[in-house]
Structure 1
Amino acid sequence: MSSPAGPSWPTVLGRLAAGLDLDSDSAAWAVAQVMSGEAAPAQVGAFLLGLQAKGPTAHEVAAAAAVMRDAALPISVPGVLLDVVGTGGDGSGSVNFSTMAAVVAVACGATVVKHGNRAASSKAGTADVLEELGVVIDLGPDAIASCAREAGLAFAFAQVLHPAMKHAAQIRRELGVPTIFNTLGPLTNPARPTAGLIGCASERSAPLMAQVFADRGDRVFVVRGETGWDEISPYGVTQVWDTTRGGVIEERLYAADLGMGGIAEGALVGGDPVTNAEVCRAAFGMPREHPDLALPSDIDAVRAVVSANAAAALAANAAAHGADTSAPLLDRIKAHLGDTRAAIESGAAGGILRRWIDTSRALARG
């Protein structure tokens, strides 16, 4: 008796077109085909849109993430690492909160390897803004590890560390909508951090991501604002999927409880990389590169949101270090809020950013 045929594009795409889930092997095969360049552009586009329309399952996401992470160039940094990253695709047009929150978390004692990319569906992705700030974004794995050890944080540029992703990059840009790769980004950091504040714009994808993190034993908060923000939102309620206590526990946070009450609509809007970099400098009290550029954001409001998100990141980081997690989630986050505010107000966060810029440049020079 012949053995069953393995996965193929007709079977994979046929199941997706019918709204049927893929098994783990088929999901892993399809992602491997995309990353190897063996899939035709039409197959890649059909796979990404079909999976997005159906809605990925936790086992599909886990299988795809495993393929991507195993194929990445590895980064080795000892100790507990934190990532502060969002999926993007929230359509808010806001400034780069996760980037600023990562800097503040380092100013408060964490070690961060931040995974990220250029903008796919927004004006300014993490890589775009860091490059504008002066950080060298295309370091290799060894230099990234050195940067994390010397500066306390480093940037893991997906285009460098996931070279096989080049086969999907142009198609993702042309599609212009979030795909499974937005979900996979935070799950495939080559440094393999065990702590994180992970923003997810998709209400459907957030619990799936949390389940994958929980199954790995990672201590993270996956967060989504009720208006779709991929961070702890200043507007209304933020849903939290907490894996810091084992399994996935759903929680809710309210903006006012974290010092973000009363922020006006439009106060956090960003723009292109130049604008968002200038907002970051202003928020951290650093000299402006373009002092005549009018900033669209309320800087005090930006600082409030950055402080709240950085405090949550520190709570996840503490859990990964073995801290007691029995207190209510809000109390665990608020315990770090004074430190994050002080890091911004004192100039410590700006000092960390300056050190990051200088260290990355020195490593790039060799």
Structure 2
Amino acid sequence: MSDRFRKFVQIIGSGPHTGKHLTREDAAEAMEMMLLETATPAQIGAFLIAHRIVRPTGAELAGMLDTYAKIGPQLQPVASHDRSPVIFGIPYDGRSRTMPLAPLVSLILTAVEIPVILHGGDWMPTKYGTPLIDIWQEWGIDWTQMSLDRVQHTFATTGLGFIYTPTHFPAAAGLTPYRDQIGKRPPIATLELMWCPYAGDAHSIFGYVHPPTEQTALVAATLRDTPHKITTVKGLEGSTDLPRDRAVIIGVHRAGQDLERIFLHHYDYGLSNVNPPLLTNPEMMAEFALVLAGKPSNLLDSVLWNAGFYLWHCGGASDMAAGMKLARELLTSGAVSKQLERIKESI
């Protein structure tokens, strides 16, 4: 047993009257002890459920992110990339109601040389939704079998990289069973959204469900003096995918500046308010194939809606309408399908 870690459990687990929050430095140390398994399984489980109950502070998230930056893998900057990469922080527990759009959006962005880095793992407690890694495997791209050096090569040559946690950050993946055992999503789920597995300047984009998550994350980013641009999206199932059944609420955070808000409405762009429901993998891949061929499908409008925004927001189009038009042209011309083939060839 770790006497040091026991103190951390006592601090956050002492109840509403005597309990306290950790300092940034203590939170960093606690995270490192969990990742390196210096703490015992009983201590780790107790810490995660106690921290779930009291909720993390921005300072605690900042400390935990310090440890992720210290221990976790990072892709390196590529001289030939003219733009900083987009880091999509998407919940590790996957999708259970709506179709994931980020893989198609990532192909569209990288087709116009906007680099993208994704990260994630397998089916994750407590939601057990469809993970993004499944989609890439269906396309014949198996990030699970690639070394970090090979991912770096693919990122350098195609602009797309995927950090697969069980292979590239096994210490973090080692905490996954605790989520199943405690039956709750612990606070480390929030820091995973914010994690930037890249050694240079980047544009971090992550989704959230509850407004306090956004505020706590932005406090953490400010404390860490995060120099790069951060975009938050109240997206589908906590992802970065824009919904069509409600107003899209987006926050743009730049160091030293006030938070900027962007609001988008589907009806301003002639779209219905229907989000494509999650299908079985074969049905979903058939829809993806229609989109990649530039053919009409139930999914196409949502892909154009999302890709249009991200092309505009990441500097690839002058406005939202121009981004949607460009996304359609890239799909119908076959440029996105060619990009998918380039990625397959690079591995």
TM-score (norm 1): 0.79
More moved, 246-255 vs 108-117: 246-255
- Does residue 187 of structure 1 match 2:184? no
- Cα deviations by residue, 1:3-25 (Å, 9 ceiling, x for unpaired): xxx95324434424425322112
- Does residue 83 of structure 1 match 2:104? no
Question: Contact 2:96 / 2:130 at 8 angstroms: preserved in 1?
Answer: no
Q: 1:8 aligns with which of 5, 20, 37?
A: 5
Higher relative contact order (CA 8 A, sep 6+): 1
User: Residue 123 of structure 1 corresponds to which residue in structure 2?
Assistant: 129
Distance 1:75 1:225, change over 3 A: closer
- SS at 1:109 equivalent: coil
Question: Contact 2:94 / 2:132 at 8 angstroms: preserved in 1?
Answer: no
- SS at 1:314 equivalent: helix
User: Residue 196 of structure 1 corresponds to which residue in structure 2?
Assistant: 204
Q: 1:356 aligns with which of 330, 343, 347?
A: 343
Question: Contact 2:231 / 2:251 at 8 angstroms: preserved in 1?
Answer: yes
- SS at 1:155 equivalent: strand
Q: 1:240 aligns with which of 239, 242, 250?
A: 250
TM-score (norm 2): 0.83
Q: 1:167 deviation in Å? A: 2.5
- SS at 1:307 equivalent: helix
- Cα deviations by residue, 1:154-205 (Å, 9 ceiling, x for unpaired): 2111222212113212222444543223222233232246113322233221
Q: 1:222 deviation in Å? A: 0.8
Distance 1:47 1:99, change over 3 A: farther
More moved, 52-61 vs 336-345: 336-345
More moved, 207-216 vs 236-245: 207-216
- SS at 2:75 equivalent: coil
Q: 1:335 deviation in Å? A: 4.4
Whole-angstrom distance in 1 between the partners of 2:342 and 2:194: 27
- Cα deviations by residue, 1:29-53 (Å, 9 ceiling, x for unpaired): 2211110012222322222222222
Whole-angstrom distance in 2 between the partners of 1:342 and 1:177: 43
Q: How do 1:264-343 residues align onto structure 2 when only pairs under 5 Å count? A: 264=274, 267-285=275-293, 300-318=297-315, 332-343=319-330
Whole-angstrom distance in 2 between the partners of 1:110 and 1:188: 19
- Does residue 158 of structure 1 match 2:165? yes
Question: Contact 1:96 / 1:276 at 8 angstroms: preserved in 2?
Answer: no
More moved, 149-158 vs 303-312: 303-312
1:12 partner amino acid: V
Aligned residues: 332
Question: Contact 2:110 / 2:160 at 8 angstroms: preserved in 1?
Answer: yes
Q: 1:106 deviation in Å? A: 1.0
Distance 1:63 1:276, change over 3 A: farther
- SS at 2:251 equivalent: strand
1:279 partner amino acid: E
Question: Contact 1:105 / 1:314 at 8 angstroms: preserved in 2?
Answer: yes
Distance 1:304 1:173, change over 3 A: farther
User: Residue 47 of structure 2 corresponds to which residue in structure 1?
Assistant: 47
Whole-angstrom distance in 2 between the partners of 1:89 and 1:359: 28
Q: 1:92 deviation in Å? A: 5.2
User: Residue 290 of structure 1 corresponds to which residue in structure 2?
Assistant: none
Q: 1:153 deviation in Å? A: 1.0
Gaps of 5+ in 2: none
Q: 1:110 aligns with which of 109, 114, 124?
A: 114
Same amino acid, percent of matched pairs? 17
RMSD of aligned C-alpha atoms?
A: 3.0
Distance 1:141 1:91, change over 3 A: closer
